[in-house]
Amino acid sequence: MSAGGAVVGRLAPSPTGALHLGNARTFLLAWLSARSRGGRVLFRIEDLDHPKKKPGAASAMLDDLRWLGLDWDGAPVVQSRRLPVYRAALGRLLAAGRAYPCVCSRRDVEETQSAPHGRDPHTLAYGGRCRGRFASWEEACAALPPGRLPAWRFRAGPGLSAFDDLFLGRRTLDRAEIGDFAFARDPDGAGYLLACAVDDAAAGVTEVVRGADLVDAAHCQLQLLEALGLPAPAFCHVPLVVAEDGRRLAKRHGDTRLCALREAGVPPERVVGLLAWWSGLAPFGAELRPADLVAGFDMRRVPRAPAVLDDRARAFLGIRVPASAPRSPTLTPGHNV
Ligand code: GLU
């Protein structure tokens, strides 16, 4: 909570492609969480260092979310226009001895890591091979073949990283499990982990509602914020939407892009109705606007398990599974993120 006690939430999509039902579910919950407490909702376009960045995707995302009935306060913040802010934050980390350039490839890190496998690749445990190795970014660049860039790593301290997630409860992690994580692959420090943390703090964001795939990122971002002396938001990591096979939504599960549903003539109220049903907020088959869900919204009603795009949900929105897609096994009860 900020000094005035007002809730400030945000929607922060990356323009890597069209938004689908999974993104929409997360954004609806982020929006409801803030609006149901009279809070503000900010919008940020996270368009840094994305090899998959697509031209036109940012304005399409805004259109899709407006179509759904979401709104936000003020003009969207665009990260690629804020490079001096990230450069300044990086400068402070360097001055405090908390950042260094690293030339290790992902394979180098995988070969030397001791932490459990299966982590998000950007948080693989890193033992610190490049600590103190290069005097500058340029020196690290010179040690690499042309076309490859170093990464900035955070010099993590020992001990536990812990926070109270508003959805998942207490999250605790030995910092060594992540180690000196890479926070940007850019001379100015303009990468997701640093930029997102710095931007949330600069905008006075009090709560970050986002997908459960970013829990490890929260442990990294909290360390960055602490080192920068910036306030931390509350985190709320909500389950993803998956298909019956337990995997993230993909083309083989049917076209769940909001733009495709819109083009097919599906009313946005139907889409929101499905998202609300998945979230324990409405019975199956309801047709609603997001504003209809504001009164009485309670995050505790959202099921702990991922929402599942099953045949019933598909039929409701008229989504067809591509003929070539293999039938997937049904998700077993008790499956979790
Ligand atoms: N831009 C990220 C994404 O689209 C979300 C980051 C966040 O919510 O912190 O996956």
pLDDT in tens, 157-203: 999 999 999 999 999 999 999 999 999 999 999 999 999 999 999 99
Alpha carbon 74 to chain centroid distance? Answer: 21
Based on the fold, state whether residues 75 and 94 are members of the same structural domain: no
**Confidence tier at 40 by pLDDT (50, 70, 90):** very high
The rounded distance, in Å, linking the Cα atoms of 198 and 202 is: 6
**Confidence tier at 327 by pLDDT (50, 70, 90):** low
User: 14: CA distance to ligand 1 center in Å?
Assistant: 6
Atom of ligand 1 nearest to the CA of 210: 8
User: 65: CA distance to ligand 1 center in Å?
Assistant: 15
Based on the fold, state whether residues 168 and 246 are members of the same structural domain: no
pLDDT beyond 80 at 53? no
The rounded distance, in Å, linking the Cα atoms of 117 and 124 is: 8
CB 309 less than 6 A from any atom of ligand 1? no
CB 30 less than 6 A from any atom of ligand 1? no
CB 191 less than 6 A from any atom of ligand 1? no
pLDDT beyond 50 at 233? yes
Question: pLDDT at position 264, please?
Answer: 97
Based on the fold, state whether residues 266 and 300 are members of the same structural domain: yes
The rounded distance, in Å, linking the Cα atoms of 78 and 99 is: 25
The rounded distance, in Å, linking the Cα atoms of 236 and 115 is: 25
CB 46 less than 6 A from any atom of ligand 1? yes
| 3-class secondary-structure state, position 182 | strand
Higher pLDDT, 335 or 62: 62
- Structural domain contains residue 213: no
Q: Identify whether the C-beta of residue 12 lies closer than 8 Å to the C-beta of residue 196.
A: yes
Sign of CA dihedral 270, 272, 273, 274: positive
Q: Identify whether the C-beta of residue 214 lies closer than 8 Å to the C-beta of residue 167.
A: no
Residue closest by Cα to atom 6 of ligand 1: 12
Atom of ligand 1 nearest to the CA of 46: 1
pLDDT beyond 50 at 95? yes
Which region among 4-8, 57-61, 93-97 has the lowest average model confidence (pLDDT)? 4-8
Based on the fold, state whether residues 37 and 102 are members of the same structural domain: no
User: 70: CA distance to ligand 1 center in Å?
Assistant: 17
What's the CA dihedral at 97, 101, 106, 109 to 10 degrees? Answer: -40
- Ligand 1 test: best mutation among 10, 14, 44, most atoms within 8 Å of CB? 14
Based on the fold, state whether residues 262 and 307 are members of the same structural domain: yes
CB 47 less than 6 A from any atom of ligand 1? no
Instruction: Give residues with Cβ within 8 angstroms of 223, minimum separation 6.
Output: 154, 156, 157, 161, 175
The rounded distance, in Å, linking the Cα atoms of 259 and 334 is: 32
- Structural domain contains residue 207: no
Q: Give the residue from 193, 227, 258 where a domain finishes.
A: 193
Alpha carbon 216 to chain centroid distance? Answer: 10
User: 242: CA distance to ligand 1 center in Å?
Assistant: 17
C-alpha dist (Å) from residue 68 to 24, 78, 82, 190: 8, 21, 28, 31
CATH number of the domain that residue 23 is part of: 3.40.50.620
- Structural domain contains residue 333: no
Domain span at 138 = 82-193
Residue 315 corresponds to which tokens in the numbers above?
Answer: 């039929």
Question: pLDDT at position 331, please?
Answer: 52
**Confidence tier at 334 by pLDDT (50, 70, 90):** very low
Based on the fold, state whether residues 113 and 58 are members of the same structural domain: no
Which region among 12-21, 36-45, 63-72, 204-213 has the lowest average model confidence (pLDDT)? 12-21
Based on the fold, state whether residues 105 and 66 are members of the same structural domain: no
CATH number of the domain that residue 188 is part of: 3.90.800.10
- Structural domain contains residue 176: yes
Question: pLDDT at position 1, please?
Answer: 42
pTM across the whole model:
0.91
Mean model confidence pLDDT for the chain: 91
CB 10 less than 6 A from any atom of ligand 1? no
Based on the fold, state whether residues 47 and 92 are members of the same structural domain: no
The rounded distance, in Å, linking the Cα atoms of 188 and 99 is: 12
Question: pLDDT at position 107, please?
Answer: 80
CB 190 less than 6 A from any atom of ligand 1? no
- Structural domain contains residue 209: no
- Structural domain contains residue 302: yes
CB 214 less than 6 A from any atom of ligand 1? yes
The rounded distance, in Å, linking the Cα atoms of 276 and 283 is: 8
Atom of ligand 1 nearest to the CA of 16: 4
The rounded distance, in Å, linking the Cα atoms of 202 and 196 is: 10
CB 61 less than 6 A from any atom of ligand 1? no
Based on the fold, state whether residues 275 and 285 are members of the same structural domain: yes
Based on the fold, state whether residues 76 and 89 are members of the same structural domain: no
Based on the fold, state whether residues 111 and 43 are members of the same structural domain: no
- Structural domain contains residue 205: no
> Which of 252, 273, 198, 206 has its CA nearest to residue 233?
206
Question: pLDDT at position 263, please?
Answer: 97
Based on the fold, state whether residues 93 and 75 are members of the same structural domain: no
- Structural domain contains residue 117: yes
Mean pLDDT of 289-305: 97
| 3-class secondary-structure state, position 141 | helix
C-alpha dist (Å) from residue 88 to 76, 78, 254, 295: 22, 17, 44, 41
User: 260: CA distance to ligand 1 center in Å?
Assistant: 22
Q: How many domains does the chain have?
A: 2
Phi, psi of 303 (to 5 degrees): -60, 150
**Confidence tier at 149 by pLDDT (50, 70, 90):** very high
CB 196 less than 6 A from any atom of ligand 1? yes
